[in-house]
Amino acid sequence: MSLFQNIVIILLLIAGAGFLSLTEIALAGARKVKLKILAESGDIRAQKVLDLQENSADFFAASQIGLNAVAILGGILGEGAFRPYIINLLSRFYQGPWTETIAFSLSFTAVTSLFILFADLMPKRLAMIAPEKISVSVINPIQVFIKICKPLAWFINAIANLLFRLFKVNTIRDDNITFADISAVMDAGAQAGVLQKQEHHFIENVFELEERNVPSSMTTRENVVFFTLKESEASIRQKLAEFPYSKFLVCNENIDDVIGYVDSKDILVRILNNQSLLQLNENTIRTVLTIPDTLTLSELLDRFRSTKEKFAVVINEYALVVGVITLSDIMITVMGDWVTPLEEDQQIIKRDSNSWLIDGSTPIEDIKHALEIDEMPDEENYETLAGFMMFKLRKIPRPADIVLHAGYKFEVVDVDHFKIDQLLVTRMLEVKKPPTEESE
């Protein structure tokens, strides 16, 4: 064959190898989520790609057969086609025993470089740019190629499967998506500017609903405002004016003897109609939803949805009321910093760039967000910052008690009847020691 014919054949081999390399990376890198979206929109080729990914053994066997066959054939043809011409070129400058060796090395290097550049490197880089788009485009011709290579591919796969079983290698791909995977995608989207800061914040908080328990967002027992059956009208009016809540618990004599709850709208209607408030009865008292304190916020959302309620009493294992929670509390947990309460009600107050005044009842998840701490030690043992201090100190904390963790100093500032009201959290900065005479 002439030099021109050899060059044409080599170019065709390079194109074939490039197509197989492009297809291999595109089909392996195509994301199932995007392919499913394309398939649901009516693209049959996307569904073919998904089916091929589920049973990829035949494709990879056929691809390797094609790539290796083309590489070997290209090497043989290239070396034989270019070596005579390289020998003639070398003979003008050098004639000796190394002529054949030099010509073989140069022809081999030239052909190998062409295959590496145009049949391997460039196609694979192109496939990584848009794997879903390319995989959908090449799926039909590659299926024809797989059928052509089917007999040899079956034989090779049989040997590979035998070796995998012999060495007990699991070949089943795990496609389960974890929260860490979703979080990584969200972080990448935020860095790329696809997600805005508040959107990223909201999505992250929504996923945390599955991990956070009810006590982390509820109004604690000591802060619950309730009516008793014998509550005076003046007291009811005063509580309505002082605490602008939409719902109030109704108890028999103490908070642990819950009867139900009243909606402030019902009481206001009675006031507007000049009706007496001296006796709370079945016309105004509603049945209250009672939940255990072990529920997650996600489970509570399901409970609210199924019962059509928006208010619940939280009970512990001793049948004592530990707090109340509303649908608004969960929404505030999701919205986070974007819901700005009144200054005096803030649980975390930033004094400067390195110190915070924090309420002892602040949920530990909020502490981690505010201080940018990845994890707290033994988090399953407490829900709040006060619980963290008690767990670490192994006693009822007193003012000036300190705990050091993750580069922060947690100092108890105020304790009221064994309850940690406020803590001062400061970031510990490394203090550079002045150089000594010896170091000078």
User: Does 320 have pLDDT greater than 90?
Assistant: yes
Determine contact, residues 20/120, Cβ cutoff 8 Å. Answer: no
Residue type, 416: D
- Looking at the predicted structure, is the pLDDT value of residue 206 above 90? no
Which CATH number do you get for residue 384? 3.30.465.10
Question: 199 falls in which pLDDT band (50, 70, 90)?
Answer: low
Asked if residue 297 and residue 222 are part of one domain, the reply reads: yes
Tokens 């043992």 -> residue: 381
Average pLDDT over residues 376-405: 90
pLDDT of amino acid 438: 41
Nearest to 119 by CA among 199, 13, 207: 13
Pair 51, 137 in one domain: yes
Q: Are residues 15 and 159 in the same domain?
A: yes
Mean pLDDT of 192-200: 66
* Domain end marker among 99, 132, 165: 165
Position 87 in a domain: yes
Same domain, 386 and 410: yes
Task: Give the rounded distance of the alpha carbon of 158 from its chain centre.
Answer: 39
* Average pLDDT for 348-375: 87
Residues 6+ apart with CB under 8 A from 350: 356, 370
**What pLDDT, on a 0 to 100 scale, did the predictor assign at position 436?**
45
Pair (377, 325) in one structural domain: no
Give the tokens for residue 313.
């009493």
Query: Confidence band (pLDDT; 50, 70, 90) for 288?
Result: very high
Are residue 276 and residue 379 in the same domain, yes or no?
no
**Overall number of domains in the chain:** 4
pLDDT the model gives residue 437: 42
In the chain, what is the greatest distance between 2 CA atoms, to the nearest angstrom?
A: 121
Distance, in Å, from the CA atom of 125 to the CA atom of 317, rounded to the nearest integer, reads 60
Instruction: Say whether both 192 and 228 belong to one domain.
Output: no
pLDDT of residue 431 exceeding 70: no
- Asked whether residue 247 is assigned to any structural domain, the reply reads yes
For the chain, give the percent of residues with pLDDT over 70: 88
Across 241-250, 343-352, 406-415, least confident range: 343-352
> Mean pLDDT of all residues in the chain?
84
81 lies in the same domain as 183? no
Residue 218 near residue 324, CB atoms below 8 Å: yes
CB burial of 115-137 (b: ≥16 within 10 Å; e: otherwise) equals: beebbbeebbebbeeebbebbbe
pLDDT at 344 over 70: no
To the question of pTM greater than 0.75 for the whole model, the response is no
**Alpha-carbon span 12 to 74, nearest angstrom:** 10
Is position 438 within any domain?
A: no
CA 350-353-356 angle, 5° bins: 30
Average pLDDT over residues 159-164: 88
Q: Is the pLDDT of residue 416 over 50?
A: yes
> Which whole number is the average pLDDT over 353-377?
87
Please indicate, yes or no, if residue 92 is contained in any of the structural domains: yes
Reduced to 3 states (helix: H, G, I; strand: E, B; else coil), residue 338 is: helix
Identify whether residues 7 and 91 lie together within a single domain. yes
Among candidates 54, 67, 6, which has minimal Cα distance to 27?
54
pLDDT at site 289: 94
- In tens, the pLDDT along 90-124 reads 877 777 788 888 888 888 888 888 889 999 999 99
* Pair (156, 25) in one structural domain: yes
- Residue 230 sits in a domain whose CATH number is 3.10.580.10
Does 102 fall in a domain? yes
Which pLDDT score is estimated for 93? 79
5 and 133 co-located in one domain:
yes
| Domain termination residue (choose one: 336, 358, 380) | 336
Domain-located, residue 434: no
pLDDT of residue 413: 93
pLDDT digits (tens, 9 = 90+) for 7-58: 888 899 999 999 999 999 999 889 888 899 999 998 999 999 999 988 888 8
310 domain-assigned: yes
Residue 4 and residue 49 in one domain: yes
Q: Of 412 and 416, which is predicted with more confidence? A: 412
Of 293, 309, 336, the one marking the end of a domain is 336
Look up the domain containing 102 and give its range.
Answer: 1-165
Residue 305, pLDDT > 70, answer yes
Residue 135 lies in a domain: yes
The arithmetic mean of pLDDT across residues 384-393, rounded, is 92
440 has a pLDDT exceeding 60 = no
